[in-house]
Amino acid sequence: MAARAMGSLTISFGLIAIPVKLYTATQSSGSISFNLLHRKCGSRLKQQYVCIKEGVVVGRDDMVKGYEFAKDQYVQFTPEEIKALEEVGSHAVEISEFVSVESIDPVYFDKTYYLAPDKGAAKPYALLTRALTETGRCAVARWATRGSAHIVMLRPIGDVLAMQQLHFAGEVREATEIEVPKQELKSQELTLAKQLIEQQASEKFDASAYVDEVRGRIEAAIQRKVEGQEISVAEAPPAEGAKVIDLMEALRASLKKTEKARASVSELGPRKGPKRVEQPAKQPARTARKTSRR
């Protein structure tokens, strides 16, 4: 099924305007959600807002938004005041600068979108994509939507431009805030650790080699319940305390285990990427969601 565009934008590149179509890069529909029901009759529950002072249910017409500037002290804002403070939405993605892709730490990454050329924009789109690829750079731009301002990164993935929404600096905590005690490492320990890394190294990351086992279990359980079957819940094993181990012995044992696993794989023939974990056959969860609302 072909992807459906969720909107249109225009990339501003110097004096060049590149109309593009906006697509989501991830599928939010992949998550499984549950509804809150009344245990007694199985009906859906609705949310109500209760005044903590008067203990009465408050309707939306009597609600206003407020900011807590001190303990239990608020300043109120009307919808019109909040609307006036929001960023005006724009279809323009204005490029501010070009930087190396490696200079942007992945900790700043947020949502990802794909961009495709709109009518008449195939050539300038291809020009920008090729130029970014050959220079090893990405474009940093500004974008405003839904009342919020964003910084985004435009980077090529093959022949496609990806637009990576970035966090602002104030939204990212400095790694230096985390206290990590200094440790003296032996050269032999570091050597063994590097050998272990090399043994389990792959040329590139293959996302298809990993599957969501939890989702598979939930879908299978939903289908069994839809069919009227009972689900047995296994008792969780008792949590074990942290074991004190010798680091050198653990590294040597890990290397031996990895070597043995690699030898077994070699006997079965060459394989690419890490071992795949099979996921249970996907069941129609949509029926289950409809059933749960009754």
pLDDT band at 255 (very low <50, low <70, confident <90, very high): confident
**Shared domain check, 192 and 158:** no
Q: Which residue has the tokens 């249910």?
A: 57
Q: Please report whether residue 179 resides in a domain.
A: no
**Shared domain check, 267 and 191:** yes
Q: Is 224 helix (H, G, I), strand (E, B) or coil?
A: helix
- Give the 3-state DSSP-derived string for 7-26, with helices as H, strands as E and coil as C: EEEEEEECCEEEEEEEEECC
Structural domain harbouring 135 = 7-28+86-169
**Shared domain check, 193 and 161:** no
Mean pLDDT confidence for 210-237: 78
Burial 245-254 (b: 16+ CB within 10 A, else e): eeeeeebeeb
Q: Is 126 helix (H, G, I), strand (E, B) or coil?
A: helix
Of 20-24, 114-118, 142-146, 184-188, the poorest mean pLDDT is in 142-146
CA distance 125 to 116: 8
**Shared domain check, 157 and 19:** yes
pLDDT of 171 > 60? The answer is yes
Q: What is the phi/psi pair of residue 162, to 5°? A: -105, 140
Of 92, 193, 62, the C-alpha closest to 152 is 92
CA distance 250 to 154: 43
Q: What amino acid occupies position 47?
A: Q
Share of the chain above pLDDT 70, in %: 82
Share of the chain above pLDDT 90, in %: 36
**Shared domain check, 159 and 193:** no
pLDDT tens string 2-35? 778 888 999 988 888 999 999 988 876 567 888 8
pLDDT of 116 > 90? The answer is yes
pLDDT of 155 > 90? The answer is yes
**Shared domain check, 256 and 163:** no
Q: Please report whether residue 39 resides in a domain.
A: no
Supply the pLDDT for residue 276. 45
Provide the CATH number for the domain around residue 15: 2.40.290.10
What is the count of structural domains for the chain?
A: 2
The 8-class DSSP code of residue 97 comes to E
**Shared domain check, 267 and 125:** no
